[in-house]
Amino acid sequence: MSEAPQRLLPLRWILPIAVLLALLATACRSGDGGGDGFQVTVPPGTVGSQHVLGSPQAPLELIEYADFQ
């Protein structure tokens, strides 16, 4: 009689934990704007890198966003 509550107690937490994990996963996928859960915080006015090959008069501009890994 005393064993039943000990078995049921973990079960009681499974649903809340599953919901919490699902919410965390969703936040990491979509809430950061960067895709990796990393919040991009940059001082206002900060300019990005300037690595360009080719003529400014070229009819097409190809921009590549890349990760070295």
Partner 1 sequence: MLARSASPQLIQEYVNTGKVRYVFKYYPFLGEESYYAAEATECASDQGKFWEYHDLLFSLWQGEGVGTFLPDKLKTYAGQLALDTQTFATCLDTRRDQFTVLADKRDGAQAGVKYTPTLFLNGQVISPVRDYEQLKAKIEDALAGR
Q: Which stretch binds partner 1 (CB under 8 A): 2-10, 11-19, 20-28, 34-42?
A: 34-42
Q: Does 23 bind partner 1 (CB under 8 A)?
A: no
Burial class (CB in 10 A: 0-12, 13-18, 19+), 66: exposed
Q: Does 60 bind partner 1 (CB under 8 A)?
A: yes
Q: Does 1 bind partner 1 (CB under 8 A)?
A: no
Q: Does 62 bind partner 1 (CB under 8 A)?
A: yes
What is the C-alpha separation between 35 and 25, in angstroms, rounded? 11
Map residue 24 onto helix, strand or coil: helix
Q: Does 27 bind partner 1 (CB under 8 A)?
A: no
Query: Which residue has tokens 């990796």?
Result: 36
